[in-house]
Structure 1
Amino acid sequence: MLKIFVILIVGICGTQGQVPVFDDCPDFDVVENFDLNRYLGKWYEQYRYVNVFELMGKCNVAEYSLNANGSVNVHNEQVNTLTGKIKTIDGNAVPVGEITEAKFIVNFPQGGVFSNAPYWVLDTDYETYSVIWSCEKHLFVSSRFLWLLSREQNASDKTVKKMYAVLDKFNIDRSLMVSADQENCS
Structure 2
Amino acid sequence: MKLFLALAAFIVPLVRSQVPHWGPCPEPDVQPAFNLKQFMGRWFEIARLPTQFERGCCIQTNFTFKADKAIRVVSSEVLKGELRKIEGTGVIEDQKNPAKLGISYSYVLPFSPYWILSTDYVNTALVYSCTDVLRLFHLDFAWILSRTRTLPRSTIDSAKETFFNNNIDVTRMIDTKQKPCDKDAPWIDDQLL
Q: Sort the TM-score into its range (normalised by shorter chain).
A: 0.7 to 0.9
Tell whether 2:47 aligns with 1:51.
Answer: no
Alignment partner, residue 75 of structure 1: 74
- Tell me how far 1:18 sits from its aligned partner: 1.9
Q: Which residue of 2 aligns with 1:95?
A: 92
Give the Cα–Cα distance (whole angstroms) in 1 for the partners of residues 37 and 91 of structure 2: 14
* Alignment map for 1:71-150 (pairs within 5 Å): 71-80=70-79, 82=80, 84-98=81-95, 101-109=98-106, 115-139=110-134, 140-150=136-146
Which residue is 1:65 aligned to? 64
Structure 1 runs of 4+ with >6 Å offset: none
Name the structure 1 match of 2:167.
Answer: 171
Aligned pair in 2 of structure 1 residues 182, 67: CA closer, same or farther (>3 Å)? same
Q: Which stretches in structure 2 are left out of the alignment for 5+ residues?
A: 183-193
> Shift of residue 21 of structure 1?
1.3
TM-score in terms of structure 1 length: 0.85
Q: Deviations over 1:112-157 (max 9, x none)?
A: 7x75211000111111111110011111121111111011101123
Q: Deviations over 1:21-78 (max 9, x none)?
A: 12110011211111011100111101111111102x0000011001111111111010
Give the conservation status (yes or no) of the 8 Å contact 1:129–1:149. yes
Aligned identity (percent) is 29
Q: Work out whether residues 47 and 147 of structure 1, in 8 Å CA contact, stay in contact via their aligned partners in 2.
A: yes
SS at match of 2:102: strand
The answer to whether the 8 Å contact 2:74/2:87 transfers is: yes
Q: Which residue of 1 aligns with 2:33?
A: 33
User: CA-atom RMSD, angstroms?
Assistant: 2.4
Question: Which structure 1 residue ranges, 5 or more long, are not aligned?
Answer: none
Q: How far apart, in 2, do the equivalents of 1:106 and 1:174 lie?
A: 22
Instruction: Give the paired residue count.
Output: 176
Preserved CA contact (<8 Å) 1:36 1:100: no
Distance 1:14 1:97 in 2: 30
Q: C-alpha distance in 2, partners of 1:118/1:59?
A: 23
* C-alpha contact (below 8 Å) 2:13/2:52 kept by paired residues: no
CA distance in 1, matches of 2:121, 2:158: 12
TM-score, reference length from structure 2: 0.82
